[in-house]
Amino acid sequence: MTSRLEQRYRGLLRLLPRWYREKRADEMVDTFISGRQDDIDQEYGWPGWRETGSVAMLAVRTRLAGADAPPRAVALGDTVRLIALLGLLMHAVTVVGDVGRDGVLQLFARMPLSVALSVPVSVPLDMVRVVSLVASVGAFVLILTRWRGAAKALALVAVVPELVWFGVVLGSDVPATAWVWHGSLLAPLLVATACVFVGFHREAPSPSRRPWLLALLVGAVVALSWQAFAFVYSTITNVLVFNPWTLQSLMVIVAGVVVLLRATPPHVRLGMAIYAAVLLPQRAIYAYQTVELRAVNGPLLQTAENAAIAEVLCLFLIGVALAVPGVRRYRRLVT
């Protein structure tokens, strides 16, 4: 006769995927019940926090599998790990561009020419951004190795400056739209950090280092060039069209087109589509605010408005184009 304790433990095991329960559930139940033989415990006992935590962590490892699992579980795990890598890469590239811009402007502001071009006399290069740079790049590089504990710690460090800045915005006297805007900026990094913790467990495979390190190098060069061009353009026209967040969207759009043109596994299309969906609210809010400013400032922001609307449309379309075949191919995989 099945005891109530066993029933409760089997209910807890439903966190695990069906394919794993079919292989290991009876063995796990026997091991658990053998240590809880008291009659009162058998009737009124519950699985402890230790057992619950162990089963929950096992559920993450088996549902986001790295190997020795059905293809669908492996594909889902690869999707989560791709989102983590994309988020860390984009944040690292953005911070490289920001720190490079601040450093160059700090030097440029000391030159006599800066007065004629109306460059700020003081462009602070604070240590918070430098720490964010080291943490972001370090987390991305280390996650490509087996040093995953250090990578996760650095990923958390990279989030802290953004959370502090968001807290400052929440505590200041600014419109609610500013809260929404900064929250949307923070969302991709938070999603990526969460994916780092759940996707890169001890059984997850290490990603290929060469293509990702090459992507980091190319992205850093592009970000620095983008920031330089944005500074010159905004100085001449007084219009900020080429901002760092637009660069992220363009990178995702270009990468999405490349993925669509090549034969790629379903997790690549799914991961790209999900990351595009995470970026989309941020870009939609920016486009809405640009349209509002355009109504106030007139033709000066016409270019920025057109670019923002086109960016949102392209990001949405590329996300849908990636998601539809990605979901279709994912469903064909064996569970």
Sequence spans of domains, the chain: 4-61, 64-332
Instruction: Please say whether the beta carbons of 119 and 235 come within 8 A.
Output: yes
- Kindly report the number of other CB atoms within 10 A of residue 319's CB atom: 22
User: pLDDT digit string (tens) for 177-202?
Assistant: 777 877 888 899 999 999 999 999 98
CB atoms within 10 A of CB 18: 11
pLDDT confidence tier of residue 298, bands split at 50, 70 and 90: low
Work out the angle between the directed axes of helices 49-63 and 18-34 (0-180°, nearest 10).
160
Instruction: Kindly state the average pLDDT of the residues 25-48.
Output: 82
| pLDDT tens digits, 128-181 | 778 888 899 999 999 998 899 999 999 999 998 888 878 877 777 767 677 787
Instruction: Find all residues with CB under 8 Å of 78, minimum gap 6, and list them.
Output: 265, 267, 271
Mind listing the pLDDT tens digit for each residue in 256-280? Answer: 999 999 989 999 999 999 999 999 9
- The Cβ of residue 204 has, within 10 Å, a number of other Cβ atoms equal to 19
pLDDT bracket for residue 240 (50, 70, 90)? low
Average pLDDT of the residues in 318-324 = 96
Residue 201, helix vs strand vs coil:
coil
Which amino acid is present at 322? Answer: L
Tokens encoding 323: 């998601």
If DSSP codes are grouped into helix, strand and coil, which group holds residue 28?
helix
The token duo for 68 is 């020795």
Average pLDDT over the chain reads: 84
DSSP labels for 17-55? -HHHHHHHHHHHHHHHHHT---HHHHHH----HHHHHHH
